[in-house]
């Protein structure tokens, strides 16, 4: 029996999930243009919910037990280490989570991974019908778990992704979240032989669409063995997806990337990629609403090879945003024109089709910053948090300045919004880069408030100046000065610098807020 493995990605706007049961179907000559479509049984179409990103650190994960209490160092569950810190998903790789207070395994105990929709539960409860339990060992001080791939509660393929991992106990206590990186994920199905696609060059308003598709195929072929090469040389006038004997790439509706596999062998037998004909496309530089055909198809072809779509988008890493297998394309991620493979993408292709390692020696770049907003001049202490043991660093602060220090301190002198990039390196391993787009926001220069001792400062690094009198601390004297100089501050200081309650203006409500925050 054939089964459809999954659907591609939320960045594609509408995700289509098809479950097809075939009766008496042959899998021979699947690329032959004149092959008759096999008889189809039940077909189900499901529209995916709006895309959700990774769970930000410190926030509740969707799907956590109701009333869960977040504790880490006060007697509740606490993770002290995760080994390895980088691993692939869906390959059977087991990680060991060490710590205290995990209790005994029982109803409700689980391990959460960052994933599309917020969380993938290792127990399989995200979709108990289709998912298996990936937890292989549990004690009060150690949990062992396979890094999982499977299905969401809505029936869409999901994979543990880069971001965080955490433990939930039977008493609904949640541990600290620990950075963890997924190098790549796989769904478990592969092609028995290299796929042959036919391409409909019908991109509305754009010439050269088929050539862009073939450039994407050539990029993957560079990572695949010579004995397994994607062929996109064929042409077609078809725009309709379906299990019809053709591997189709075309513009039309509904949008989606789909592959089918033979359940008895686990081998993919057909794939279709339909690009939304209502979108704006380009063979040149993509930006805003205009998407790069080559970048888009590069991601879709990866999915159709059996490489899982990842969703980790931690701003400062570890993140999947630099990978072709990342689910979103957007200016906010800086990947609208990504037409080359990440080392993890190449490793996934090698693992599936060339006997490569499930866990190659890779880095996962990440960093911390003690401040991300504030008035100029803004002092920021950056610290490397890369997983995998880097030995070299290159920082780009976004204003033309760079550093090769591990943990540089930098001062942003001019107001503006800056993208920070960290490239981590180690001998004999590919570099990895995390690019935090528009991460640092520097406001206008703050001046001394009449009656103050110095320039106001931001004592808690939240982007507002709570030390109004500039004496280096936040206390009641700041409330008094703020009240007395409210009109002057509203008219002379940078907008937003003293708007503590974020209502768009500086007024008496901010005086109350500052007092309550002492």
Mean pLDDT of 221-248: 96
β-partners of residue 8 are none
Q: What is the mean pLDDT of the chain?
A: 85
Provide the pLDDT for residue 75: 66
pLDDT above 90 covers what percent of the chain?
A: 71
Domain 1-51+70-359 has CATH 3.30.450.20: no
β-partners of residue 168 are 110, 174
- Show the tokens assigned to 316: 């400062």
Preceding peptide of 254 cis, ω within 30°: yes
Strand ranges (E), 283-336? 290-292
In the three-class reduction of DSSP (H, G, I as helix; E, B as strand; rest coil), residue 412 is classed as strand
Rounded to an integer, what distance in angstroms lies between the CA atom of residue 323 and that of residue 343? 8
Sequence spans of domains, the chain: 1-51+70-359, 367-443, 448-518
Kindly report which listed range (249-253, 324-328, 335-339, 462-466) carries the lowest average pLDDT score: 462-466
Provide the pLDDT for residue 158: 81
- Show the tokens assigned to 269: 């037998």
Q: How does residue 321 score in pLDDT terms, banded at 50, 70 and 90? A: very high
- pLDDT of 342 > 90? The answer is yes
Rounded to an integer, what distance in angstroms lies between the CA atom of residue 291 and that of residue 381? 36
Computed over its alpha carbons, how large is the radius of gyration of the chain? 26
Considering only residues 297 and 2, tell me which one the structure prediction assigns the higher pLDDT. Answer: 297
- CATH domain 367-443 topology: Immunoglobulin-like (2.60.40)
- pLDDT of 387 > 50? The answer is yes
Q: What is the pTM of this model?
A: 0.81
Mean pLDDT of 5-30: 30
Q: What is the pLDDT of residues 49-89, one digit of tens each?
A: 222 222 333 333 333 333 333 344 456 899 999 999 999 99
Provide the pLDDT for residue 26: 30
Q: What is the pLDDT of residues 435-469, one digit of tens each?
A: 999 999 998 888 899 999 999 988 887 888 899 99
- pLDDT of 281 > 70? The answer is yes
């Amino acid at each position: 029996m054939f089964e459809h493995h999954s659907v591609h990605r939320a960045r594609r706007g509408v995700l289509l999930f098809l479950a097809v049961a075939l009766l008496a179907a042959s899998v021979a000559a699947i690329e032959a243009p004149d092959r008759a479509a096999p008889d189809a049984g039940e077909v189900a179409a499901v529209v995916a919910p709006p895309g959700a990103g990774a769970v930000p650190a410190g926030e509740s994960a969707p799907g956590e037990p109701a009333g869960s209490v977040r504790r880490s160092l006060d007697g509740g569950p606490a993770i002290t280490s995760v080994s390895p810190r980088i691993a692939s998903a869906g390959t059977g790789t087991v990680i060991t989570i060490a710590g205290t207070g995990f209790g005994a395994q029982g109803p409700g105990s689980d391990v959460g991974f960052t994933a599309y929709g917020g969380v993938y539960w290792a127990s399989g409860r995200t979709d108990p019908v289709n998912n298996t339990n990936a937890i292989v060992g549990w004690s009060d001080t150690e949990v062992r778990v396979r890094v999982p791939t499977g299905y969401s509660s809505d029936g869409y393929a999901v994979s543990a992704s880069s971001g965080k991992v955490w433990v939930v106990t039977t008493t609904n206590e949640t541990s600290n979240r620990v950075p963890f990186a997924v190098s790549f994920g796989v769904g478990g199905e592969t092609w028995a032989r290299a796929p042959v696609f036919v391409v409909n060059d019908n991109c509305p308003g754009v010439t050269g669409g088929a050539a862009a598709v073939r450039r994407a195929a050539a990029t993957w072929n560079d990572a695949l063995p010579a004995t397994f090469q994607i062929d996109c040389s064929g042409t077609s006038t078809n725009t309709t997806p379906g299990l019809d004997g053709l591997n189709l790439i075309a513009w039309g509706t509904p949008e989606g990337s789909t592959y089918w596999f033979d359940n008895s062998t686990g081998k993919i037998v057909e794939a279709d990629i339909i690009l939304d004909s209502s979108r704006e496309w380009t063979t040149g530089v993509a930006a805003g609403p205009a998407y790069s055909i080559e970048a888009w198809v590069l991601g879709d072809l990866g999915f159709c090879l059996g490489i899982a779509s990842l969703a980790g988008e931690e701003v400062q890493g570890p993140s999947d945003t630099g990978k072709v297998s990342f689910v979103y394309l957007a200016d906010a991620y800086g990947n609208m024109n990504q037409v080359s493979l990440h080392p993890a993408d190449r490793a996934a292709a090698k693992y599936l089709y060339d006997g490569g390692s499930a866990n190659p020696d890779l880095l996962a770049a990440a960093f911390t910053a003690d401040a991300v907003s504030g008035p100029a001049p803004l002092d920021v202490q950056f610290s490397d948090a890369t997983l995998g043991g880097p030995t070299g660093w290159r920082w780009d602060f976004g204003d033309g300045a760079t550093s090769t220090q591990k943990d540089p301190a930098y001062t942003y002198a001019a107001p503006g919004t800056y993208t920070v990039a960290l490239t981590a390196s180690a001998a004999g391993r590919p570099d990895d880069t995390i690019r935090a787009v528009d991460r640092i926001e520097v406001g206008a220069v703050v001046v001394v408030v009449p009656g103050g001792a110095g320039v106001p400062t931001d004592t808690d690094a939240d982007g507002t100046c709570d030390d109004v009198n500039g004496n280096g601390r936040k206390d009641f004297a700041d409330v008094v000065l703020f009240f007395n100089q409210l009109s002057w501050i509203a008219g002379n200081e940078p907008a937003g610098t003293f708007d503590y309650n974020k209502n768009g203006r500086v007024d008496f409500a901010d005086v109350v807020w500052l007092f309550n925050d002492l």
